[in-house]
Amino acid sequence: MFRIAIIASSERLAVVHLWHVNPAFQSPLSSYVVRDQILNRILDSQLRGVPLKAVRLVVEDADESALFPIEIDLQDYIERGNPHEATPVVTGRGRFTQRFKIRSELVLAGLTRVHTSHSKPVAVPRDIARALR
């Protein structure tokens, strides 16, 4: 199950709150595949166009909850034609690579895939936990 809470702490945030209620299914707390699939669907259908820097993900399972940092899929972001700057860079032995620069305020929910596979869960901040009660 999920819900979205709009809160105004130090900044206005859209908190996606996932909680695991059916033990027949894998928990989003323990599986980044489940977490990312659900999160991307919610961002695309419910929060499309909201700046991603204003979205937080809280996952709850029984008595445990955690906040997961959301990372963008850079390759998907660029392939979809989202605004970015690419600069060629010469590396060792005459090889070339590119450095990409994106402005966080231009990254919008639903316009690129996101993932939490490399994110380390952290404790839910008090203001967000209080708003989710």
For 30-76, the three-class secondary structure string (H helix, E strand, C coil) is CCHHHHHHHHHHHHHHCCCCCEHHHEEEEEEECCEEEEECCEECHHH
DSSP 77: H
Residues of the chain with pLDDT under 70: none
Instruction: Give the integer Cα–Cα distance in Å for 50 and 71.
Output: 15
Q: What is the pLDDT of residue 43?
A: 98
Per-residue pLDDT tens for 100-113? 999 999 999 999 99
Domain ranges for the chain: 2-72+108-132
- Enter the pTM of the model: 0.89
Burial 116-126 (b: 16+ CB within 10 A, else e): beebebeebee
